[in-house]
Amino acid sequence: MRILLAEDDADLAANVADYLRALGHEVTPVASGRTALRRAVEESSELLILDRMLPGLDGAELCRRLRRDHGRQTPVIMLTALGSTEDKVAGFEAGADDYLVKPFSLVELRLRIEALARRALPPVEEALQVADLSYHPRRLQAQRAGKPLALNPTTRKLLEHLMRASPAVVPRAELEHLLWANEAPQEDVLRMHMSNLRGAVDKPFRRKLLHTVHGVGYRLADEGGT
């Protein structure tokens, strides 16, 4: 499993990372909150282990932004020295799935990861598929009919979101929120990016996958068959 470990205590981070790697996981340790958020979003890790207290952006706020601004449901285990009920409330309300109080046993961490993995990772997501279109969150690369598509960061985010939602319609407002959180630029910028995405995904192909639902938003799906 690809695990992002955000922990600024270097000794603890090394211990945890070594232990998890020995279990066969792929661990990326980072020491700052901002870096953690960026990498969690870009590399779409399968599990986040976050220290509650992090320089730059604390674990709870990181988790909240990940869920709210980026729409990610990546499972989160909060790791912290703060063990009061209030602290736990804050952790869970930020969207954490589990909350482990230091000092904790590595075995218990393993157990909780396994329990979470059973629930949170239905298919070990290697690639998203819609018809002959596929997207690999790890490689940040999309293909259609075997040919790689040229995507920029914005069109990539849109594609990933639309594929995860497929075959449901995604309202324009949701896509705008995905890209710009609250601070959206002019209204019709999204149209631009959708046009670009269409150019990459549909233009060279006969069968169109990206459909407009007038007055609502967009749907990515293979029409006719379902």
Partner DNA sequence: TCAATATGTAAATGACTTGTAAATAATAAC
Partner DNA sequence: GTTATTATTTACAAGTCATTTACATATTGA
Residues that bind a copy of itself (CB under 8 A): 75, 85, 88-89, 92-93, 96-99, 105, 107-108, 111-112, 114-116, 118-120, 122, 125, 136, 138-141, 143, 146-148, 152-153, 167-169, 213-216, 219, 221, 223-224, 226
Does residue number 214 form part of the binding site for DNA (CB under 7 A)?
yes
Closer residue to DNA in complex, CB, 21/208: 208
**Tokens matching residue 28:** 């990326």
- Closest to 71 in 3D by CA, of 200, 162, 197: 162
Closer residue to a copy of itself in complex, CB, 34/208: 208
Phi and psi torsions of 169, nearest 5°: -80, 140
Pattern 22-61, binding to DNA, x per CB under 7 A? Answer: ----------------------------------------
60-68, 92-100, 106-114, 191-199 -> range binding DNA (CB under 7 A): 191-199
Placement of tokens 């909150």 in the chain: 33
From CA 40, how far away is CA 46, in angstroms rounded? 9
- Closest to 1 in 3D by CA, of 128, 107, 92, 110: 110
1-9, 76-84, 107-115, 188-196 -> range binding DNA (CB under 7 A): 188-196
**Tokens matching residue 113:** 């990861």
- Which residues partner with 50 through β-bridges? 6, 78
35-43, 51-59, 132-140, 213-221 -> range binding DNA (CB under 7 A): 213-221
Which listed option, a copy of itself, DNA, none, makes contact with residue 212 (CB within 5 to 8 Å by class)?
DNA
Smallest separation (angstroms) from a copy of itself to the CB of 114: 7
Asked if residue 62 lies in contact with residue 33, where contact means CB atoms within 8 angstroms, the answer is yes
Does residue number 192 form part of the binding site for DNA (CB under 7 A)?
yes
- Closest to 164 in 3D by CA, of 138, 206, 124, 127: 127
DSSP assignment letter at 216: T
Smallest separation (angstroms) from a copy of itself to the CB of 31: 26
Does residue number 139 form part of the binding site for DNA (CB under 7 A)?
no
Placement of tokens 């209030």 in the chain: 86
Size, binding site for DNA by CB under 7 A: 22
Query: How far is the CA of 29 from the CAs of 93, 204, 206, in angstroms?
Result: 24, 41, 44
Task: Kindly give the interhelix angle for 153-165 and 189-201, rounded to the nearest 10 degrees.
Answer: 80
Residue of 148, 195, 204, 223 that binds DNA (CB under 7 A): 195
Closer residue to DNA in complex, CB, 112/211: 211
